[in-house]
């Protein structure tokens, strides 16, 4: 396991990934940056963890298949 010092570019990287996810997910969703890389100044594994919440889980298949 690799732990690195906080990287000030992590929030920017998350926002880029979030924008791509928002284009791909066709149902109402809430995309959040979670985990240690979301905490300014904290050492972390250099992996951007993301949680995607769906308004209606009945839409799960639609959201990942694009229709």
pLDDT at 49: 98
| Alpha-carbon separation of residue 2 from 24, 40, 47 (angstroms) | 30, 18, 10
pLDDT at 66: 54
| Alpha-carbon separation of residue 55 from 8, 15, 34 (angstroms) | 31, 20, 18
Please count the other Cβ atoms lying within 10 Å of the Cβ belonging to residue 8.
8
The reported pTM is 0.84
The end-to-end CA distance of the chain, in Å, is: 38
Average pLDDT along the chain, 67 residues, taken 10 residues at a time = 97 97 87 98 98 82 63
């Amino acid at each position: 396991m690799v732990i690195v010092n906080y990287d000030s570019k992590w929030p920017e990287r998350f926002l880029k990934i979030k924008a791509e996810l928002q284009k791909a997910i066709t149902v109402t969703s809430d995309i959040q940056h979670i985990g240690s890389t979301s905490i300014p100044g904290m050492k972390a594994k250099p992996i951007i963890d993301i949680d995607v919440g769906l308004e209606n889980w009945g839409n799960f298949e639609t959201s990942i298949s694009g229709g």
